[in-house]
Amino acid sequence: MNGRKLAAEAIGTFWLTFGGCGSAVIAAGFPEVGIGLLGVALAFGLTVLTMAYAIGHVSGCHLNPAVTVGLMVGGRFPSGLVLPYVGAQVVGAIVGATVLYVIASGSPDFNLAAGIAANGYGNHSPGKYGLGACLLSEFVLTMMFLFVIMGATHGKAPAGFAPIAIGLALTLIHLISIPARSTGPALFAGGWALAQLWLFWVAPLIGGAAGGFVYRWLSEEPTGEVTG
């Protein structure tokens, strides 16, 4: 049974990385038909929304180590499955980035130095934001994302609407911060992306744990599906 859950997490994270980062790398830059900032944000939100309906009943559709850790802290997920889930998510992200790289490198204009939508701070941040600003934004946005996930999947929340709320929350997050699924793209970008990857693990994991803790304190003991 756990094998199916892990496979679902890998497939879902593949879709998140390929669809979200792919929208930024392949579709966002065309001068006349590019989808732009809003399109990239919607693409990330739609990957989560579609996968939440597709695999939410199988694995909970976490697709992110920070979500898994946050749900564990929030009392919604067993601690013994955290590392297997994280491993499956990383595998899915790497496969998604690999497929994206193969497709994107087929263009004569492809430039690996652009980073394949890898996260970064300082000179590698779209807005040149420094380490402190990026760390704080990753923490706060992930904390609030977990807060939304915990509330939307609470046993007393309207049934069937959790994926919509979660997908829209992720869209909002990307409109603010434009993050990408970090590990897979960073492996291909190398150099600066790998050197800065630590921030995009540490801050979201702490933020996710904080979001799970705060919601668990605020609300009654939750029941229902673990979707994220």
The domain tally of the chain equals 1
Whether residue 83 is contained in a domain is answered as yes
pTM over 0.75: yes
For residues 218 and 64, what is the distance between their CA atoms, to the nearest angstrom?
A: 23
Cβ atoms < 10 Å from Cβ of 78? 10
Instruction: Provide the residue range defining the domain that includes 108.
Output: 2-218
CA-nearest of 172, 149, 169 to 62 is 149
Q: pLDDT by residue for the chain (228 residues), tens digit each?
A: 799 999 999 999 999 999 988 888 887 655 555 677 788 889 999 999 999 999 999 999 999 999 999 999 999 999 999 999 999 999 999 999 999 999 988 888 777 766 677 788 888 887 888 999 999 999 999 999 999 999 999 888 888 899 999 999 999 888 887 555 788 888 888 888 899 999 999 999 999 999 999 999 998 764 444 544
For residues 76 and 65, what is the distance between their CA atoms, to the nearest angstrom?
A: 14
For residues 159 and 152, what is the distance between their CA atoms, to the nearest angstrom?
A: 9
Q: Count Cα atoms within 13 angstroms, Cβ side, for 179.
A: 24
Whether residue 225 is contained in a domain is answered as no
Dmax (CA) of the chain: 56
Whether residue 130 is contained in a domain is answered as yes
Phi, psi for 222 (deg, rounded to 5): -75, 155
Whether residue 193 is contained in a domain is answered as yes
Whether residue 226 is contained in a domain is answered as no
Q: Nearest 5°: CA angle at 166, between 209 and 74?
A: 25
Q: What amino acid occupies position 179?
A: P
Instruction: Tell me if 125 sits within 8 A of 134, measured CB to CB.
Output: yes
For residues 8 and 5, what is the distance between their CA atoms, to the nearest angstrom?
A: 5
**What's the gap between Cα 121 and its chain centre?**
17
Q: What is the CATH number of the domain that holds 69?
A: 1.20.1080.10
